Chains A and B, each alone.
Chain A
Amino acid sequence: MFDNFVVPNLQPAAPEIFLVVMASAILLIDLFIKDSRRTVTFALSVLTLLGCAVIQFLTWTPDITYTFSNMFVDDQMADVLKLFLYLAVVMVLFYSRAYVVDRSEMNKGEYYVLTLFATLGMMVMISANNFVTVYIGIELLSLSLYAMVAMNRASLAASEAAMKYFVLGALASGLLLYGMSMIYGATGSLEITAIAEVLRNGGANGNLLIFGLIFLIAGMAFKLGVVPFHMWIPDVYHGAPTSVTLLIGSAPKLAAFAIVMRLLVSGLFPLAAEWQNMLIIMAVLSMAIGNLAAIAQTNIKRMLAYSAISHMGFMLLGIVSGVVGSVDPVTGDIIRDARFALNAYSSAMFYVVSYVLMSLGTFGMILLMSRSGFEADTLDDFKGLNQRSPWFAAIMMMLMFSMAGIPFFIGFFAKFTVLMAVIAAGYIWFAIVAVLFSLIGAFYYLRVVKLMYFDAPQDETPIAADADMRLLISANGIAVALFGLFPQVIMTLCAFSLLRSLTP
């Protein structure tokens, strides 16, 4: 009956399998834990993620491996993104520890288990080579996040945010599935690499394909949170408990970058002329609306939500400049030149990695200043931070400078490499627009610095936090500065991994 079935090679998926086994074990172990701080659950979750990282190292292979009937791909891009993902989630767990322990509604074993399953969803997205796997990964991530947003049942804002996130997320999934089914209808395959093959041979119904592409991009834009599909981001960031906002605002961006690369670059690359225009409009609108709306915010979580929208727009600019259209002087046809593709995609990857690092630090600072029964989520709470704690004020200042793109922090080099790629691709106008909106954006980041250094504090309570949290957030802030001085480290890693992963 199963004559031509090959038993899948489980080795490339070893980290995923380890994570599933450990998450299920933690779910059971947690039932027997009496400790109200749940130290064992926390430690096991962190150890699981570290174990995944170790396994990722041990099973590293230099070439691209496909397994599970080509549903799963393990290439350098997946390895590097997954390592950053484990690091990001470990940091999320450490930052949110005190916050969660202080809030009895959130202080449950399920909080950690759902975080691990969300991580699994992101890993599945990063390694997906089939529309079905992409979709299942997104659902696994989203479902865990919906539940985590709603976990603080006492808060009306959190329930509202969860409801909005759930309804809009379901709508986006519908759009994505509709687009996927259209593309399946046009190409006859769900496998991303096979779709690329069919498209290259020109054997697809073009009309149906474009129709599907539009829905696919709309669904993806929802998940990325770029204009005009950004409406959920401010409400969810604002309403969710800060520790969950930290998770939503950091690690999933890595996975979102991965699915954009897999779907648009590995799969629908021959359609670049079509998706490029759509992405350009979304990127420019995101930078405009994100940066302008952020100015009007008084809540720092909401402000960072709009800032996330503008950052994602900036990241899309990098992806857009991968393919350059030029007119052939002889025939007059438009040629798509992919010479700068690698440069552009690695700039986008570098951007997303540095954004995740900055966003972890910034939301981490909000968590650091929150305490039992008090959320430090308005801009006024940051007033006079310098007088309360000069060290953490300095860290926050570095993070804000980096977000604004002031040299020499990592955020500057992230913006710089993307702009270089945009100029290399010949889109001078987009580079000018991007710089203009970054300048506008610098206003609200610098306002936070002004509040911290030149205003009188509203409450004088000294900042109380565990040593591990202080150490990690200091390391995070210093990393933002250090990688700003040595950006080559991450940049080379991104460029190298993409060079080995993208098959021309």
Chain B
Amino acid sequence: MDFQTFVFYFLSAILVFAALRVITARNPVHAALHLILAFFTCGGIWALLQAEFLAIAIILVYVGAVMVLFLFVVMMLDINLDRIRQGFWNYLPLGAVLGLLMVMEMGLVLGNKALQIPASTVVTPPGVSNVKEIGKMMFTDFVYPFELASIVLLVGMIAAIALTWRGRKKSKYVNPNQQVFVKAKDRLRVLQMPVEKD
């Protein structure tokens, strides 16, 4: 086993462990931290595949921005995960058996020696920047989906605002016009009551 393969298996083992902890950890903050670990190792595996841009992007965007926000939310909301996942441990055995079955089936199909996919033989020539190539593709061949992705983000923004905005807050504002024209009988009501006699 050469060094690269060793690093791959090492990172994969950490990734699988972290992903499992995300769904089994009882403490939501621990789960979020394990998710960060999972993203980080995933970035490592991508770097191993020479996809530096993706590796940097996942660490900057997911670890740096998304997960930090997520951690804030988790800490502030004080969610009791045990209540949310009441059924989790009951369903776990059945789910695990089904999941393992599926993994085994897929393994049988993909693990067949005769049907192995040959390793990529493409060698990146020195001096070629991955990031530059992706940038070029994004603004030439992929400009149409790129622009559409911006519209998807716009729709996300519109949706978030439409679903959360509840109109302007009603201020305690007094209308001077009504104050000036107020009459005594608007403020005071004189009641005729029978005299109490002992």
A and B found bound together:
yes
Give, as a whole number of angstroms, the nearest-CB distance from A278 to chain B.
15
Assembly CA distance A206 to B110 (angstroms):
11
**Interface positions of B from 126 to 161, Cβ below 8 Å from A:** 136, 140-145, 148-149, 151-152, 154-156, 158-159, 161
Q: Which chain A residue has the least Cβ–Cβ distance from B141? A: A69
CB distance from A191 to the nearest CB of B (A): 10
Q: Which residues of A contact B163 (CB under 8 A)?
A: 147, 150-151, 153
Interchain CB contact under 8 A, A68 and B115: no
Inter-chain CA distance A133–B152, complex, in Å, is: 12
- Do A108 and B162 have beta carbons less than 8 Å apart? yes
Contacts between chains A and B (CB distance < 8 A), count: 85
**A181 touches B (CB below 8 Å):** no
Contact with B along A125-167 (1 / 0, CB 8 A): 0000010110011011001101100110100000000000000
- CB-contact partner of B148 in A5, A133, A146, under 8 A: A133
How many chain A residues touch B (CB < 8 A): the figure is: 40
Residue among B115, B142, B145 with the most chain A CB within 10 A? B145
Known: A1-B136, A133-B148. A8 touches B162 (CB 8 A): no
CB–CB B152/A5 < 8 A: no
Instruction: Tell me what chain A mostly uses at the interface: helix, strand, loop, or mixed.
Output: helix
A114–B115 Cα distance when bound, in Å, is 46
Say yes or no: is B109 at the interface (Cβ < 8 Å to chain A): yes
A247 interface residue (CB < 8 Å to B)? no
Q: For window 151-184 of chain B, which residues contact chain A by CB distance below 8 Å?
A: 151-152, 154-156, 158-159, 161-163
Interface presence of B123 (CB below 8 A): no
Which chain A residues lie closer than 8 Å to B141 at the CB level?
69, 71
Could you say which residues of chain B place their CB within 8 Å of the CB of A205?
A: 115, 117
A117 to B162, CA, bound (A): 14
Q: How far is the CB of B107 from chain A (nearest CB, A)?
A: 12
**Chain A neighbourhood of B162, CB < 8 A:** 108, 110-111, 114, 147, 151
- Given contact pairs A113-B158, A143-B152, A136 touches B117 in the complex (Cβ within 8 A): no
Taking a contact as CB atoms closer than 8 A, the residue among B144, B155, B161 that contacts A140 in the complex is B155
A503 interface hit (Cβ, 8 Å): no
Is B112 engaged at the interface, CB distance under 8 Å to the other chain?
Answer: yes
Which A residues between 69 and 117 are near B, CB-CB below 8 angstroms?
69, 71-72, 108, 110-111, 113-114, 117
Across the two chains, which residue of chain A brings its CB closest to B162?
A110
A208 within 8 A of B: yes
Taken together as a complex, chains A and B put the C-alpha atoms of A114 and B149 apart, in Å, by 15
CB distance from B129 to the nearest CB of A (A): 12
A457 at the interface (CB under 8 A from B): no
Pair A110/B151 contact, Cβ less than 8 Å: no
Contact A136 B149 (CB under 8 A): yes
How many angstroms from the CA of A185 to the CA of B141 in the assembled complex? Answer: 19
A2 at the interface (CB under 8 A from B): yes
Closest Cβ of chain B: how far from A266's Cβ, in Å? Answer: 18
A143 to B163, CA, bound (A): 13
For A217-246 the 0/1 string (1 means CB < 8 A from B) is 000000000000000000000000000000
A133 touches B145 (CB 8 A): yes
Find out whether the CB atom of B156 lies under 8 angstroms from the CB atom of A124. Answer: no
Within 8 A of B (CB), among A39-83: 68-69, 71-72
Q: In the assembly, what is the distance between CA of A147 and CA of B117, in Å?
A: 42
> Within 8 Å CB of B145, what residues of A?
71, 130, 132-133, 136
A27 at interface, CB cutoff 8 A: yes
Please name the residue on chain A nearest to B156 by beta carbon: A143
In the complex, the answer to whether A124 meets B148 with C-beta atoms within 8 Å is yes
Q: Which residue of B lies closest to A132 (CB)?
A: B145
Contact A139–B152 (Cβ < 8 Å): yes
Q: Kindly state whether residue A20 has any CB partner on chain B within 8 Å.
A: yes
Give the distance to chain A from B156, nearest Cβ to Cβ, in Å.
6
Question: How far, in angstroms, from A393 to B158 measured CA to CA in the complex?
Answer: 39
Contact of B112 among A130, A146, A207 (CB under 8 A): A207
Contacting residues, chain B, for A68 (C-beta < 8 A): 143-144
* Any B CB within 8 A of the CB of A120: yes
**Does A18 sit within 8 A of B, measured CB to CB?**
no
Q: A139-B152, A211-B109 are in contact. Are A2 and B142 (CB under 8 A)?
A: no
Q: Tell me, in angstroms, the Cα distance from A108 to B154 when the chains sit together.
A: 17
Chain B nearest CB, measured from A144 CB (Å): 6
Q: Is the CB of B143 within 8 A of A8?
A: yes
Chain B residue at smallest Cβ distance from A137:
B148
Bound form: Cα–Cα A132–B106 in Å: 25
In the complex, chain A residues whose CB is within 8 Å of the CB of B110: 207-208, 211
**257-307 of chain A: CB within 8 A of chain B:** none
Nearest A residue to B118 by beta-carbon distance? A205
- A114 and B143 form a contact (CB under 8 A): no
24 A-B pairs with C-beta separation under 8 A: A8-B143, A20-B151, A27-B158, A69-B142, A69-B144, A71-B142, A71-B145, A72-B144, A113-B158, A114-B155, A114-B162, A117-B154, A132-B145, A133-B148, A137-B148, A140-B152, A143-B155, A150-B163, A151-B163, A153-B163, A205-B117, A208-B115, A208-B117, A211-B106
Question: Residues of A at under 8 Å CB distance from B?
Answer: 1-2, 5, 8, 13, 20, 24, 27, 68-69, 71-72, 108, 110-111, 113-114, 117, 120, 124, 130, 132-133, 136-137, 139-140, 143-144, 146-147, 150-151, 153, 185, 205-208, 211
Can you list the 7 inter-chain pairs with the closest CB atoms, starting with the nearest? Answer: A147-B159, A68-B144, A110-B162, A207-B115, A69-B141, A5-B140, A136-B148
- Can you add 13 more A-B contacts, CB < 8 Å, to A120-B151, A132-B142, A144-B159? A2-B140, A8-B144, A13-B144, A117-B154, A133-B145, A137-B148, A140-B152, A143-B155, A143-B156, A143-B159, A205-B117, A206-B115, A207-B109
